Amino acid sequence: MALDPLPRGATAFLVIELQNDLVHPSLVGAKGLSGKLAEAVQSRGVLPRLAALLDRFRGAGVPVLYATKERHPSIPLPTGPKIYRAAGKDPKLMAGTWGAQVVDDVKPQEGDVVIARYTSLDPSHGSELWSILTQLGTTTLVVAGISTTIAVEGTVRAAANRGLRVVVVEDCCAVFPEEWHRFSADKVLPLIADVVPADEVAAALPRA
């Protein structure tokens, strides 16, 4: 059963947190979560596949957006949520640095929109994402990036809360460990989104 067509003028593509400090190929083999994430992204072939898909979307005139997570020296991390207590001493994703930029393989092109945020766990809160989608007239949101379980799934849940149709590009997402990717992609996400591979998404593109 093919994916329903992506509506012309009402589809947007969102790339989530594929930033150098998190998934740059040079991190493969490094200790810590970033090493594992970079490895998952590489072993699943996310970057070249996504680069090709983004070109298809740009060619079809679909707006491409990037959600990035950044740190600002004047804005402290929350102390409430447990995940932040485990954050390393080593500052990452500092605004204005190479580490906060999207990796070159899938980097933003002219006309793309980069939506940075400082404060939240996933792009669903605090940024201008939803306002921009409203302004673009988006009813169908296509998402890819990392991590499948946290930022991608969090964004998909929030999009469903707002009544959007969501398409998850399954083979352009990753998380460590792979078991987590499978649970999110095979069990939870299909309840609220179409979870399909890149070639199926490309086939549903509106023609330019």
Quick one: which of 9, 104, 126, 203 contacts a second copy (CB under 8 A)? 126
- The pattern of x and - marking residues 80 through 99 that bind a second copy according to CB under 8 A reads xxxx----------------
Is residue 157 at the binding interface for a second copy, with CB under 8 A as the rule? yes
Is residue 208 at the binding interface for a second copy, with CB under 8 A as the rule? no
19 vs 127, beta carbon nearer a second copy = 127
Tell me the C-alpha distance between 141 and 27, whole Å: 30
Options 19-27, 36-44, 113-121, 198-206: segment touching a second copy (CB under 8 A)? 113-121
Q: What number of other Cβ atoms are within 10 A of residue 146's Cβ? A: 26
CA 76-154-193 angle, to 5 degrees, is 165
Amino acid identity of residue 172, one-letter, is C
Tell me the C-alpha distance between 166 and 144, whole Å: 11
Report the number of secondary-structure helices (H) and strands (E) in the chain: 9, 6
- Touching a second copy, residues 178-197 (CB under 8 A): 180, 183, 187-188, 190-194
- Touching a second copy, residues 52-81 (CB under 8 A): 63, 72-76, 78-81
Core vs surface per residue 151-189: b (16+ CB within 10 A) or e: bbbbbbbbbbeeebbbbbbbbbbbbbeeebbeebbeebb
Binding site for a second copy (CB under 8 A): 63, 72-76, 78-83, 111-113, 117-122, 124-128, 130-132, 134-136, 139-140, 149-150, 154, 157-166, 180, 183, 187-188, 190-194
